[in-house]
Structure 1
Amino acid sequence: MQNSSHMARYGARLVTNGYAILPIAPGTKKPGRFQRGAWVDYPEWNRHAARPTTEVEVATWSAWPDCGVGLVGGAVAAIDIDIAEDAELALKIEKLARDRLGDTPALRIGRAPKRLLVYRAAEPFRGIKRHPLEVLCLGQQFLAYATHPDTGAPYAWPEEGLADLDISELPAITADAAAAFLEVAQAMLPEAVRQRGFIVKPSAHPHLTGHSQTGTMPAIQAALEWLPNAELDYDSWMRIGMALKGALGDEGKDVFAQWSAQAAKDVPGTTLKAWASFKPDRIGAGSIYHLALERGWKPDASLRLDGSMDCAEAHPAAGLLSQLGGTSKPSKETDDHTAYTLHMPDGLVGDLTAYMLSTARRPQPLLSLGASLCAIGALMGRNYRTESNLRSNLYIVGIADSGSGKNHAREIINEVFFEAGLAHHLGGNKIASGAGLLTALHRQPAILFQIDEFGMFLSAAADRKRSPRHITEILDNMTELYTAAGGVFLGAEYANRDGSNERRDINQPCLCVYGTTTPLHFWGALQGANVVDGSLARFLILPSDDDYPDENLAAGIRQAPPGLIHGLKALAAGGGLQSGNLTGMTAGQTTAVTPITVPMSDEAKARFKELSGTLTEELRAARGTAFTAILARIGENSLKLALIVAVGRDPARPIIDLSAAEWAIGFVRHFAARTMEAIERHVADTETEAHLKRLKEIIRAAGAKGITKSEITRSSQWLKARDRDEILLTLIESGDITTGMRDTGGRRAMVYRLSG
């Protein structure tokens, strides 16, 4: 059945015409995401203001049911004429806008006589509001193609729609011109139309606004006395209503009705209908208190503000203080991390890992295991396969801080490969270009690259805007080679085939990559597009839980065990079962090879079948999210690891048994879950979003005791003071962090903590 959503019909055309767009949840005016079978809020939507909309995003959003299309302000600005009672006045304001700002062909009608005119911004500027008029621009969005939540009909474009207008066809306006228009337009409005609303300012009292959503009836009623409904605008009326419901639940219905009735235009039936529709999840008592405090309210010391606390408090902030005394409950994800125990597999994988750990100055078990899996995978490449033709090619990234000992595993692999006469399986320390990668693979089709500072490499390879093509082709080639291991990789065709430019095909290439990096460099290098397009999903990401393990002072001169060297040689030779061109350097790049097919026990088959069913359910639930690419690779990566462990146990007669299957599935599932959690916490598409997430991580690291403002400042000196304050306020208002008080050095200081 053809998708008839507004996004599917108009999204690609709007992007082609130069507009930045975003998905709108059906029946609403706000950005949304279709996640796990349901529409949810999209709080970080304004990341799209800083970059063009990608084809991948449009394709993803077009698959979401009944998805509307919003336009992101910045490159465009819109004159919103929110006058519903006087059609003649609305038309006069429209004419004034056309006379002063330009005769734009882009007029949008939602609920007439309200109207909106779209212009091109000569330079992005912040929106300007003079109720009931507003100029929407940077940091704001408006609906382009969607169903109006009140009329139930699509928004109309009486002249020309933006899907048929290139952005260059819109008249350009400036911030000064927009402000001048609003001043003239305001003078045309009768006093009765100039309703006043609540302008939300950054709080000077964050210790009173950043706590539980729940309030108490006495405190809410006291605060409302400072917030009279003097013919407020619709947005302010809605904001107070949702905040009341968030603060008091259904007990606040009568409070809202009485407060709303203060205005002459109140319609009791509409008020009750609006109350029933409110579903606040991040707005509540804090918003009421915030607005009242800005207007001079000074809460009595006997008032208990936080309704989530059972006992009366001596001070409005005392509820917050009591919360700081205990420890926060760990999240489910944290519990899962704690429950998982890393076990080393036996066989060659375990032997190589054990040798790394015994010789390391600062042993890193997880990173050593990751390096061993890649090394064994490269040596057995083209010699072994699963019954489904999966191979042992792996991409693994080990993450640990500087000075943590993450380089040791790479050094050991270099040494043992040279000692075993297998150095031809080692690629260089750096990959200079996509062509260089293919040249190395053509010379040796089963090869291991070990890359230090992998985050910096990835930053360049993933940056299609600033990096040259020969660098970005590295990641493109890696992505294609990952899925070509069981077949033939066809090289590039050149116009001039003079010998040096001959097409280079590679039969069953086995590329293994082991990179090490610091957390900051790795997560800072990624953008949301890398998650959506699946390039990140091909990597197993292994973050060390101990950046600075105890030092092994006995580590010194080392000598590889003879049994380990012998085992590596036997593995590279196919367990003694292969001969001819499958051994050593003589493996032809274009020669057809027939690897050993490693069987699987019935118990292991049943376990992988069970995994497949579970992952299918999880993929369906995650439809439309960035995580489907990662979930889709869990089964494949688990089977690869089970193959490597099985061959490492017995290269001559390998079998994937239940123990290998259980170990591989548990390992991959755990670190895939940690990767998805890390993406939520770290991956950003804009500088503003990156700053917000980094600041949130600083607060997270402080734990239950919290962190003071001065400590935050010292840890985030890359931020300007104003930006830091705005981010903190955003995190408080979104409910991501809370504030409270604690004793520091004999005095009370306000602290910030992560919510939950």
Structure 2
Amino acid sequence: MTKQTKAANPIRDAAYRYIDAGYRVLPADAQRKFATLKSYKQYRKKPPTEKENEVWFSSANAVCILTGEVSGSLEVLDFDQGGRAFDAWCDLVEEHDPRLLQRLVVQRSQSGGRHVFFRNESLTPKSHVHARTVMPEIEGKTVLIETLGEGSLVMCDPSPGYVVLQGDLTNLPTMSIDERAILVDAASSFNEVKPTIEDVPATKTSNDESRPGDDFSQRGDVAAILTKHGWRLLHDGNNQQWCRPGKTAGCSATLKDGVFYVFSSNAAPFEPNQPYSPFAVYSLLEHGGDYSAATRQLASEGFGNASESDVDLSGFLDGLGKTGPPPKPPAEPELPDPGPVPNSLLQVPGFVGDVMSHCLDTAPYPNPTLAFAGAIALLATLAGRKVRDPGDNRTNLYLLGLAHSAAGKDWPRKLNVQILHRAGMADCIGERFASGEGIQDALHLTPSMLFQTDEVDGMLQSIKKSNDARYENVLSTLLTMYSSANTVYPMRRKAGKESPGTIDQPSLVVFGTAIPNHYYAALSERMLTNGFFARMMILECGERGEGQEPKIAEVPDTIMDVARWWADYKPGTGNLHLWHPEPTIVPHDDSAKKILVEARLHAEREYTKAERKSDSVGTTVWGRVNEQTRKLALLYAVSANHESPVINEAAAEWAMTLVDHLTKRMLFMASSHVAESPFATECLKVFAKIRKEKNQKIPHSKLLKAMDMEALLFKKLMATLVERGDIIAQEESTAGRTGTHYRLNRTEQPTGAG
């Protein structure tokens, strides 16, 4: 066949290429998007003859392929509605396996959607819909993503309107069972149709918040329960994707609008393709399915308004699912809010856990977050210049605990001083940042130090206002020391004098505390992008806990024995350990290495996304995530076993999950508090005040008082926000009076966020 002949009939040429590639190919109608034959079932059992092919493709204007076993286990993911979910699906697949996405063959369809082609290692499952949606302008459930497998067909390039965008249709990749699971699970996670009683057997709740179970379903932290029991959050947002315990990749369930929907058949005690309310999740995981015990426990924790004897269990014992339409999601900022770190992520075995327990047992106002920050800072100091991971990451950390006044910020600091003093390391303790030179001088004398200070927000405020060069110098030194832990730092040279020397592998650990509103008020875009914000692990403490009677208790021997072991630890050989130690390498096993690589790739993808959007804050923060993850995994390992530490799967998984949560929370809070102008700052304050309201709605008078500004300026501000569509103003009657209420528009974005 000549080149001229090929150019004259591209449909016929393509058809024969596909036949040679092992597909079952049929002529098609481009307008109907279907085969032109009256019946083609027989061609699933036997191939067409050469004569049939010649007749068909000499005049056909389009071509299609039968999917399934007859075409070599061909399967196609079909993204409808103009490919609305395609980019998000790509992001999710890329999080699990970046290389997998590059292997796929992608075709644009006639309607602007996408077809993703691949072959299966085993026989292709029957075609079924994976994701549906409810379109505002269309009643009923509309396909969003579906598979074209056994029994289906797909239109192909060069049919009118169909173009291959990536790869070659005659050279498809073959997916293993696990690889296909990643693709299909990712598609399943975009299902926007909430299961109903008619869809699947579901259990019932009454949405009566006076009952503990219903109250928990409204305001309980189901994500913390899932994390505690080994589930891992893969993708946050309105439609969260979760990976079951024991699985390293792929979406096993989604959490959206108060419905935990499980896809996996290996996620006991949950059943596959079933919806669960938050209370059902709590009951199954925390109480083995004993809903009566779960109800009593929640009632004792303050959920519900009825007493235990008044609790009606009749609606619970069927299994607690969902009825009625889901509530509309509240207005959200551009970045989803993961909330403060759950207590389940503050659990570290061994030394850190022991120090936390003693701190909580003796503190006048026990606070798990502050206890964790103090304990991890203490271990980071004890192990400084003594251990490292295979990537030469060290234990130096900068931690910031955010808590209100009199919430117990000083107790973990006092405990650290007591332990270090008794271990013979009192010279390692610093209190205030006098100057950058002072920090250098201290590290020159004692290369591993812990600075504990309550003045971080004041320092940041002074830097923001640019009225204290001393603090600018402190900040510059902190940035430099953080990155110098695995090298030699030359000290400053004064004019006309000899160099005072060097600091060998300085290990500076900072445990700072600040009042939350003072800290966030001090942040500026310059502060967020100079690297200091990204180096800080910010831990928010929430409300002050219930106090307890003070008591005098000696630090347990289990803690002091480990502290003294670290104090006497001699890395390296000979007499060089004091000024030039060779830290012991703590290895990671294969499972941990895989998780840490996954964490690095995830951070790199997020960095790239921020880079494409010219988001300087995002690139700064995501650029430090890999390093932070590995530091924490190292600390987990030496806490669990100080004598023979190994970075294992538990250490890597914990570090990755905690750092990812803290990073997303940092970026959310930055977007909610940092603006490019005074007006934009006031806009962010309005958004924050409304979000704090239970129903995401606030009366005019209450918001005016909360904003603490002149009525005329407030009126102009709100008029601007309403006109721009950020805020919706509604007239409502309350107690016989009509007044204006404000709520966030669902499409509202934090104006001027950095």
TM-score, structure 2 length as denominator?
Answer: 0.53
Match of 1:573 in 2: 568
Residue 342 of structure 1 aligns to a residue whose secondary structure is helix
Residue 509 of structure 2 aligns to a residue whose secondary structure is strand
Match of 2:502 in 1: 505
Preserved contact between residue 571 and residue 648 of structure 1 (Cα < 8 Å): no
Match of 1:643 in 2: 634
Q: Among residues 429, 434, 437, which one is paired with 2:436 in the alignment?
A: 434
CA-to-partner distance for each residue in 1:533-553, whole Å, 9 max, x for gaps?
322111111112x322222x2
Match of 2:82 in 1: none
Preserved contact between residue 398 and residue 517 of structure 1 (Cα < 8 Å): yes
CA-to-partner distance for each residue in 1:110-142, whole Å, 9 max, x for gaps?
xxxxxxxxxxxxxxxxxxxxxxxxxxxxxxxxx
Q: Which amino acid aligns with 1:457?
A: M
Tell me the number of residue pairs that the alignment of Structure 1 and Structure 2 aligns.
420
Q: How does 1:586-735 map to 2 (within 5 A)?
A: 587=578, 591-623=579-611, 624-625=614-615, 626-704=617-695, 706-717=697-708, 719-735=709-725
Q: Which has the higher contact order (CA 8 A, sep 6+)?
A: 1
**Higher mean C-alpha displacement, 364-373 vs 638-647:** 364-373
The answer to whether residue 543 in structure 2 is matched with residue 547 in structure 1 is yes
Q: Among residues 557, 562, 571, which one is paired with 2:552 in the alignment?
A: 557
> Counterparts of 2:327 and 2:549 in 1: how far apart (Å)?
42
The answer to whether residue 519 in structure 2 is matched with residue 522 in structure 1 is yes
> Counterparts of 2:604 and 2:472 in 1: how far apart (Å)?
32
* Cα drift, residue 521 of structure 1: 1.1
CA-to-partner distance for each residue in 1:583-622, whole Å, 9 max, x for gaps?
7xxx3xxx32211111111111111111222222222121
Preserved contact between residue 586 and residue 646 of structure 2 (Cα < 8 Å): yes
* Cα drift, residue 559 of structure 1: 1.9
Sort the Cα spacing of 1:335 and 1:507 in 2 relative to 1 into closer, same or farther, 3 A.
closer
Sort the Cα spacing of 1:594 and 1:326 in 2 relative to 1 into closer, same or farther, 3 A.
closer
Q: Which amino acid aligns with 1:570?
A: W
Q: How does 1:115-514 map to 2 (within 5 A)?
A: 328-329=329-330, 333-334=336-337, 341-428=344-431, 430-463=432-465, 465-468=466-469, 470-497=470-497, 502-514=499-511
Sort the Cα spacing of 1:340 and 1:398 in 2 relative to 1 into closer, same or farther, 3 A.
closer
> Counterparts of 1:745 and 1:507 in 2: how far apart (Å)?
70
Sort the Cα spacing of 1:580 and 1:744 in 2 relative to 1 into closer, same or farther, 3 A.
farther
Structure 1 alignment gaps of length 5 or more: 1-36, 39-213, 216-324
Q: Which amino acid aligns with 1:723?
A: L
* Cα drift, residue 356 of structure 1: 1.2
Sort the Cα spacing of 1:745 and 1:664 in 2 relative to 1 into closer, same or farther, 3 A.
same
Preserved contact between residue 380 and residue 571 of structure 1 (Cα < 8 Å): yes
**Higher mean C-alpha displacement, 731-740 vs 650-659:** 731-740
Sort the Cα spacing of 1:742 and 1:403 in 2 relative to 1 into closer, same or farther, 3 A.
farther
Q: Which amino acid aligns with 1:698?
A: K
> Counterparts of 1:582 and 1:745 in 2: how far apart (Å)?
78
Residue 665 of structure 1 aligns to a residue whose secondary structure is helix
* Cα drift, residue 342 of structure 1: 2.5
> Counterparts of 2:375 and 2:675 in 1: how far apart (Å)?
31
> Counterparts of 1:594 and 1:712 in 2: how far apart (Å)?
59
* Cα drift, residue 516 of structure 1: 0.7
> Counterparts of 2:691 and 2:515 in 1: how far apart (Å)?
18
> Counterparts of 2:525 and 2:710 in 1: how far apart (Å)?
25
> Counterparts of 1:696 and 1:640 in 2: how far apart (Å)?
35
Sort the Cα spacing of 1:579 and 1:665 in 2 relative to 1 into closer, same or farther, 3 A.
same
> Counterparts of 1:392 and 1:677 in 2: how far apart (Å)?
27
Q: Among residues 729, 740, 745, which one is paired with 2:730 in the alignment?
A: 740
Preserved contact between residue 433 and residue 473 of structure 1 (Cα < 8 Å): yes
Residue 600 of structure 1 aligns to a residue whose secondary structure is coil
Residue 650 of structure 2 aligns to a residue whose secondary structure is helix
> Counterparts of 1:755 and 1:555 in 2: how far apart (Å)?
48
* Cα drift, residue 481 of structure 1: 0.9
Sequence identity of aligned pairs in percent?
28
* Cα drift, residue 582 of structure 1: 7.3
Structure 2 alignment gaps of length 5 or more: 1-86, 89-135, 138-325, 747-754
**Higher mean C-alpha displacement, 649-658 vs 698-707:** 698-707
Sort the Cα spacing of 1:426 and 1:339 in 2 relative to 1 into closer, same or farther, 3 A.
closer
> Counterparts of 1:577 and 1:691 in 2: how far apart (Å)?
53
* Cα drift, residue 690 of structure 1: 2.5
> Counterparts of 1:578 and 1:556 in 2: how far apart (Å)?
42
Sort the Cα spacing of 1:731 and 1:402 in 2 relative to 1 into closer, same or farther, 3 A.
farther
Match of 2:529 in 1: 532
Residue 406 of structure 2 aligns to a residue whose secondary structure is coil
> Counterparts of 2:554 and 2:457 in 1: how far apart (Å)?
32
Superposition RMSD in Å: 2.7
Sort the Cα spacing of 1:400 and 1:488 in 2 relative to 1 into closer, same or farther, 3 A.
same
> Counterparts of 1:369 and 1:421 in 2: how far apart (Å)?
23
* Cα drift, residue 410 of structure 1: 1.4
Q: Which amino acid aligns with 2:729?
A: T
